[in-house]
Homo-oligomer: A and B are copies of this chain.
Amino acid sequence: MKTNLMKTIREQQPIVLNVANHVTPQRVADGINYIGGSPMMMADPLEAADLTKIADAVVLNLGSTNPTAQALMLGAGETANRLHKPVVFDPVAVGATPLRRKRTQQLLERAPVTLIRGNAGEVAALAGVSWDQRGIDAGQGSVDPVTVAQTAAQKCQCIVVLSGPTDIITDGTTVYQVENNAPMLTTNVGMGDVLDGILGVAAGISTDLETITTATGILPVAAELATHQYPDAPFSFLAETYNQLARLDDQTLQQRLKIK
């Protein structure tokens, strides 16, 4: 694993450019800032290229898909590809509507991404595996999630982080699993988006699988610490998770990480 990730983040302070959804941008920007990155959020396709140039990584979120958001994603994604900067993509509810599938396909064709982060239902949709998704929730399927993640990684030729009670990180061949978890993360809307932002910060440093796996553990480790203090108060838990993100050091992260 990447044993000096937190220290490196705070030294390099990667700039992460976000095409966020319209629900959780504050939460995402705070998450990036709390661990030591520098968030930028944008809204005009006309400056997508200029802002991508000053970013260390780009995070694209399908949550509030519309023509402007799609133009933002394409503009930032294409520039990032040209400049060899990493792109994290969250295909929110991609299986829910034909429009989301079409726009995802267009993005992946025109601007290949470095890393896809989604729940089981979303990754299954990209893998072409049948899955019973429910709204924005993960839903249930009959195929092993590890196989789902590997299939999606091979199809999209990128790293896949399939998040859930156990997070699966794979480049299509090698597989790591992070078993840290806190059920109250799903009670607070947008913690998956915060994970995307954290992965963007990490990708701004390195996109090797060990760095991404370590980064995947940051949020659940902080959330486990918060759960100890607020076992049945989900908003207090959220507040304390942010406090812990700001405080987390490499020693604590490495000690608590449960990777297999």
Known: A21-B41, A33-B189. Contact between A47 and B239, CB under 8 A? no
Q: Is the CB of B39 within 8 A of A136?
A: yes
CA distance A25 to B233 in the complex (A): 21
> Which of B21, B26, B44, B68 interacts with A190 by CB under 8 Å?
B26
Copies of this chain, complex-wide, total: 3
Which residues of A in the span 27-73 have a Cβ within 8 Å of any Cβ on B? 27, 29-30, 33-34, 38-44, 46-47, 50-51, 54-55, 63-69
Q: Is the CB of A187 within 8 A of B47?
A: no
Known: A20-B23, A234-B243. Contact between A39 and B189, CB under 8 A? yes
Residues of B within 8 A of A64 (CB): 41-44
Q: Which residue of B lies closest to A244 (CB)?
A: B233
Known: A23-B20, A187-B246, A239-B239. Contact between A40 and B135, CB under 8 A? yes
Q: Is A82 an interface residue (CB 8 A)?
A: no
Residues of B within 8 A of A34 (CB): 187, 234-235
Q: Is the CB of B246 within 8 A of A99?
A: no
Q: Is A15 an interface residue (CB 8 A)?
A: yes
Q: Is the CB of A41 within 8 A of B22?
A: yes
Residues of B within 8 A of A137 (CB): 38
CA distance A93 to B29 in the complex (A): 15
Residues of B within 8 A of A33 (CB): 187-189
Q: Is A11 an interface residue (CB 8 A)?
A: no
Q: Which residue of B lies closest to A50 (CB)?
A: B97
| Residue from A54, A98, A189 whose CB has the most chain B CB atoms within 10 Å | A189
Q: Is A247 an interface residue (CB 8 A)?
A: yes
Residues of B within 8 A of A134 (CB): 15, 38
Q: Is the CB of B189 within 8 A of A51?
A: no
Q: Is the CB of A189 within 8 A of B40?
A: no
Q: Is the CB of B44 within 8 A of A99?
A: yes
Q: Is A100 an interface residue (CB 8 A)?
A: yes
Q: Is A158 an interface residue (CB 8 A)?
A: no
Known: A136-B38, A243-B233, A247-B232. Contact between A43 and B65, CB under 8 A? yes
CA distance A99 to B50 in the complex (A): 9
Which residues of A in the span 203-260 have a Cβ within 8 Å of any Cβ on B? 232-236, 239-240, 242-243, 246-247
Top 10 nearest A-B pairs by Cβ distance?
A: A235-B242, A44-B66, A43-B64, A233-B243, A29-B189, A50-B97, A23-B25, A15-B135, A47-B97, A235-B239
